[in-house]
């Protein structure tokens, strides 16, 4: 079955042409799928109903993925992560009640096994940096195509990272700002990926430069640099 088009920032489907590429490109077989042949279990949480429906179609169109729950509210999303234990949770950073960054911090604090993919309509603010520093496995924008979203989910489940190339100017600017203001920068390995992308290298060239797989640009997951506080994390 043909995958549905991604939803744009206003919640309507976006064209499959012209969407930005991601830093890492996943192979067609999701590496996060259990070796026993099981499905990659996914939770979706987004505040916009129309976009959430598009995400649901993107997951249900691929038999390697199993949709375990959906919600449009932050506290419910965290509770579902705790009770359903999905392999990956795809979160809107601007969820009402409890935002995506607060959920991510709770997942990290409670040592939950679920990995988090952030999917944002607003890449220009500091939230991508904060989310990555707090441990988000992947960060995409809403212009991403269904196959890119599924690739990010598989990458996160496999323990690697992928970031939409449209985020890199924002991330690079934030790294420079924090460096000049003596705030903790990102891990050097991740910073190198950002700098190479900002210099115009495509994912394959980045992979070759870093001497890693051309299908997955792996970066260090140890990103715990105490970003500025956001919404209070519940106990």
Handedness of CA 177, 179, 183, 187 (dihedral sign): positive
What does each C-alpha distance from 28 to 12, 16, 25, 33, 117 come to in angstroms? 26, 18, 9, 12, 18
- 52 lies in the same domain as 160: yes
Tens digits of pLDDT across the chain (235 residues): 333 344 444 443 343 333 444 444 333 344 444 544 568 999 999 999 999 999 999 999 999 999 999 999 999 999 999 999 999 999 999 999 999 999 999 999 999 999 999 998 876 667 787 888 888 999 898 889 999 999 999 999 999 888 887 776 666 676 667 666 655 555 666 666 666 665 666 666 666 666 655 444 443 333 333 344 444 444 4
- Looking at 152, 167, 182, the residue that finishes a domain is 167
pTM above 0.85, yes or no: no
Domain span at residue 201 reads: 168-210
- 145 lies in the same domain as 176: no
Token digits of residue 137: 């496995």
CATH no. for residue 150? 3.40.50.2300
Closest by CA to 118, choosing from 91, 152, 157, is 91
* pLDDT for the residue 108: 92
Token digits of residue 174: 């934030």
- 130 lies in the same domain as 206: no
- Cα distance from N-terminal residue to C-terminal residue, the chain: 43
Q: How many domains does the chain have?
A: 2
* pLDDT for the residue 130: 83
- 63 lies in the same domain as 119: yes
7 located within any domain = no
């Amino acid at each position: 079955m043909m995958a549905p088009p991604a939803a744009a920032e206003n919640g309507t489907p976006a064209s499959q042409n012209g969407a930005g590429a991601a830093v890492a490109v996943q192979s067609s077989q999701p590496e996060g799928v259990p070796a026993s042949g099981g499905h990659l279990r996914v939770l979706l949480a987004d505040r916009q109903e129309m976009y959430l429906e598009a995400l649901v179609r993107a997951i249900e169109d691929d038999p390697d993925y199993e949709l375990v729950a959906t919600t449009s509210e932050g506290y419910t999303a965290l509770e579902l992560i705790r009770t359903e234990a999905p392999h990956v949770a795809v979160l809107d950073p601007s969820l009402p009640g409890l935002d995506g960054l607060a959920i991510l911090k709770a997942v990290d604090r409670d040592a939950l096994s679920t990995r988090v993919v952030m999917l944002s309509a607003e890449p220009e603010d500091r939230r991508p940096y904060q989310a990555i520093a707090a441990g988000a496995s992947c960060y995409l924008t809403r212009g991403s195509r269904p196959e890119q979203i599924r690739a990010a989910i598989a990458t996160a489940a496999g323990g690697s990272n992928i970031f939409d190339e449209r985020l890199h100017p924002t991330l690079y600017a934030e790294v420079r700002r924090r460096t000049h203001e003596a705030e903790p920068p990102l891990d050097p390995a991740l910073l190198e990926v950002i700098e190479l992308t900002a210099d115009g290298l495509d994912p394959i060239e980045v992979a070759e430069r870093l001497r890693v797989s051309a299908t997955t640009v792996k970066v260090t997951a140890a990103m715990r640099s105490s970003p500025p506080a956001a919404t209070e994390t519940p106990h």
